[in-house]
């Protein structure tokens, strides 16, 4: 019992310890140490919440940046593939007229000239050139568009005239004035054709 009394602080000692404490704390009955803890705890919570929000925003920015980088990479890969696949488009379009003229030359050779001993080598040379050109076209993905006997396809055929006929369904291609070509899956030149229509 005496020990408890000896250990208990007296009023004078308590008053001495509280000398530096502002009066408003004493009047409200608040513990200064607890008051400080409440304020700092609140400000720390706000700071943590702000940091979490900044972290989430940064994560979103990183995700958007990654997605944009992926899209740019895919576009670049597509552009490179297109450049590789269609690099010869301009040249191929220009060389088609050479192929047309060669086809006309071969078609115009009369049968008697093919059998002439003196002209046989000349004719064989033209035909060999025609075959070689067709081989080069094939190696570069250039293919001739099918036309005769097919329905008109505006994506590949260009109708130049209508031909009255009862032998074919209206809209069927019955004449090809100029062959069309594709380069891989792109149109290089449409086929110029005549299509059937009902007779008047």
Q: Which residue range(s) make up the domain with 79?
A: 25-85
Question: Would you say residue 129 lies in a domain?
Answer: yes
Looking at the fold, whether 110 and 178 belong to one and the same domain comes out as: yes
**Coil vs helix vs strand at 166:** coil
Question: Would you say residue 18 lies in a domain?
Answer: no
Per-residue pLDDT of the chain (200 residues; tens, 9 = 90+): 444 445 555 666 656 665 655 555 555 445 544 444 455 557 888 888 888 888 989 999 999 999 999 999 999 998 888 888 788 888 889 999 999 999 998 888 888 888 888 888 888 889 999 999 999 999 989 999 999 999 999 999 999 999 999 888 999 999 999 999 999 889 999 999 999 999 87
CB 144 within 8 A of CB 181: yes
Half-sphere exposure of 152 (CA within 13 A, CB side): 21
Domain count, the chain: 2
Question: Would you say residue 16 lies in a domain?
Answer: no
Looking at the fold, whether 76 and 98 belong to one and the same domain comes out as: no
Residue carrying structure tokens 């040249």: 91
Return phi, psi of residue 118, to 5°.
-70, -30
Question: Would you say residue 165 lies in a domain?
Answer: yes
Q: Kindly write down the DSSP assignment for every residue of 9-21, as one continuous string.
A: PPHHHHHHHTTTS
Q: What's 119-136 look like in SS3?
A: CHHHHHHHHHHHHHHHHH
Question: Would you say residue 5 lies in a domain?
Answer: no
- Residue 134's CATH number: 2.30.22.10
Looking at the fold, whether 36 and 74 belong to one and the same domain comes out as: yes
Looking at the fold, whether 78 and 99 belong to one and the same domain comes out as: no
Which of 85, 102, 124 finishes a domain?
A: 85
Looking at the fold, whether 147 and 170 belong to one and the same domain comes out as: yes
Which of 85, 100, 119 finishes a domain?
A: 85
């Amino acid at each position: 019992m005496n020990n408890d009394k000896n250990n208990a602080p007296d009023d004078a000692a308590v008053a001495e310890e509280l000398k530096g404490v502002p009066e408003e704390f004493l009047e409200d009955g608040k513990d200064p140490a607890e008051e400080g803890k409440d304020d700092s705890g609140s400000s720390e919570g706000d700071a943590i919440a702000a940091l979490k929000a900044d972290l989430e925003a940064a994560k979103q920015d990183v995700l958007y940046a990654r997605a944009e980088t992926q899209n740019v990479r895919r576009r670049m890969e597509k552009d490179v593939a297109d450049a590789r696949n269609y690099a010869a488009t301009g040249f191929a379009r220009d060389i088609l007229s050479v192929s047309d003229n060669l086809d006309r030359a071969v078609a115009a050779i009369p049968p008697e000239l093919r059998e002439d001993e003196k002209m046989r080598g000349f004719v064989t040379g033209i035909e060999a050139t025609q075959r070689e050109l067709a081989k080069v076209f094939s190696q570069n993905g250039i293919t001739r568009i099918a036309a005769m006997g097919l329905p008109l396809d505006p994506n590949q055929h260009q109708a130049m005239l209508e031909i009255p006929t009862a032998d074919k369904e209206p809209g069927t291609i019955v004449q090809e004035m100029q062959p069309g070509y594709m380069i891989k899956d792109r149109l290089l030149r449409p086929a110029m054709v005549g299509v059937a229509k009902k007779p008047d």
